[in-house]
Amino acid sequence: MIEVSPEEWGNRYRARRATYESMTTRLRGLITDLVNEAGIDVIQVEGRAKTVDSFVEKVGRKGKKYEDPFADMTDLVGLRIITYYREDVTRIGDILKGEFSVDENNSVDKIAGLAPDRFGYLSVHYIVRLSPARRQLAEWKQYALIPAEIQVRTALQHAWAAVQHKLDYKSSIEAPLELRRRLFRLSALFELADEQFSELRDARARIETDYAADVRNGHLDLPLDEASLAAYLDDSGKRDIIAKMIADTGGKMYAQDERALAKDRRDLLKLLNIIEISTISQLDDYLSGNILLIPVAGTDLFRKVGLESVEDALTMLIMADRRVSREIFGEIYLPDGWAEFVRLVERWQGIKSATTR
């Protein structure tokens, strides 16, 4: 039997690589859909088919011998899922086990298996193949026999892997003695930070629950922050009241995602800080005495103003009520909206004057 050279294997891989690229693209889309359907927010799902140069290098690597690299290599298709939290690494692993045939013998939990003489903060690697049911689908049949490597790691695990790759130390015996302790401390800090992020997320959820209960019970002596503001608008009924004001004046709000809504909330918080409102109780008193008592039904107050959320509308109303300067307006919105804002101020102040006569 004639031995095939690494270069000849590379030519054969080059001829097939388009199939591996298309599988990578399809798998990335499938995994993205699965993660989204499970309600898991991830930073990134990325994928790549191994390059020809990398394939040739691996075939020719010292100490390695592949009778058939296409059958023996499990990472010609590779994907990486980067999560925010450690718990999501486990959740995504459960999804992969349910949706694919996982090669348990070749899959590696590099976190659990980390030896004491190795620097860690590593990830979980799954070697997977399509499930029997998916292999029968027309769009997946051509990939039925191809394995893929899927790495799942947190953002900090990913950061550590990048640093470790740059330093090129795989174990403590490779590092100069004076660096070992510092590297061990650094890897421990990465792991501790991941734990703290999870604990901070849980603490935030508890605070949000407590704020909502306080607002529902009429306890408004709460510090003003993003969580208390959201609880106040949602659980006091103010969100519905302000949304009705907008509709009654011919305005329309546009749908937005959670990230855009968070930005609008930060803008409102910035304005409230400028006008020295620092508690939910102060905000409630101000709105009840200056904003919510103004009858606006039948006016065209918001007809020409593009609003994206109740937070956005409330920001505009408060700035109109307080007749904020152009400088303050520019801190919240783009300067080219100033002329339209001046018209809003005139309409709002006219309605307010008629109401308070």
- In 106-127, which positions are buried (b, 16+ CB within 10 angstroms) versus exposed (e)? ebbebbeeeeeebbbbbbbbbb
DSSP at 64: -
Instruction: Please write the tens of the pLDDT for every residue from 315-326.
Output: 999 999 999 999
**The two structure tokens encoding residue 221:** 């002596």
Alpha-carbon distance 42 to 36, whole Å?
A: 9
Q: What is the CATH number of domain 6-192?
A: 3.30.460.10
Alpha-carbon distance 214 to 13, whole Å?
A: 64
Residue 159: per-residue pLDDT: 84
In this prediction, residue 308 has a pLDDT band, given cuts at 50, 70 and 90, of: confident
Strand (E) or helix (H) holding 207: helix 177-216
More confident residue, 38 or 302: 38
Residue 165: per-residue pLDDT: 66
Q: Let me know: does 92 contact 152? Beta carbons within 8 Å.
A: yes
The most confident of 52-66, 275-289, 300-314, by mean pLDDT = 275-289
- Here the contacts of 171-177 (C-beta below 8 Å, separation 24 or greater) are 171/115, 171/117, 171/118, 171/119, 172/117, 172/118, 172/119, 173/117, 175/119
| Helix, strand, coil share (%) of the chain residues, nearest 5 | 60, 10, 30
Residue 117: per-residue pLDDT: 43
Residue 93: per-residue pLDDT: 95
pLDDT at 51 over 70: yes
Query: Which residue type does 207 have?
Result: I
- The mean pLDDT value for 82-101 works out to 95
Alpha-carbon distance 299 to 246, whole Å?
A: 10
pLDDT at 2 over 70: no
Q: Where are the alpha helices (DSSP H) in 38-120?
A: 52-59, 69-72, 86-99
The fraction of the chain above a pLDDT of 90, given in percent, is 61
> Which region among 171-185, 252-266, 272-286 has the lowest average model confidence (pLDDT)?
171-185
Residue 256: per-residue pLDDT: 73
**Mean confidence (pLDDT) of the chain:** 88
Alpha-carbon distance 10 to 56, whole Å?
A: 5
Residue 252: per-residue pLDDT: 81
- The mean pLDDT value for 186-192 works out to 82
pLDDT at 116 over 70: no
Of 320, 311, 354, 310, give the one whose Cα is nearest residue 340. Answer: 320
Number of helices and strands (H, E) in the chain? 14, 6
Instruction: Please write the tens of the pLDDT for every residue from 57-90.
Output: 999 887 778 889 999 999 999 999 999 999 999 9
The CA distances from residue 339 to 118, 284, 296, 334, 352, in Å, are 63, 29, 21, 11, 20
**The two structure tokens encoding residue 170:** 């795989």
Alpha-carbon distance 209 to 220, whole Å?
A: 14
pLDDT at 216 over 90: yes
Of 352, 250, 270, give the one whose Cα is nearest residue 311. Answer: 270
Strand (E) or helix (H) holding 81: strand 77-83
Alpha-carbon distance 233 to 245, whole Å?
A: 14
In this prediction, residue 268 has a pLDDT band, given cuts at 50, 70 and 90, of: very high
Residue 3: per-residue pLDDT: 81
pLDDT at 169 over 70: no
Query: Would you mind telling me the total number of residues written for the chain in this entry?
Result: 357
The segment(s) of the chain belonging to CATH 3.30.460.10 are: 6-192
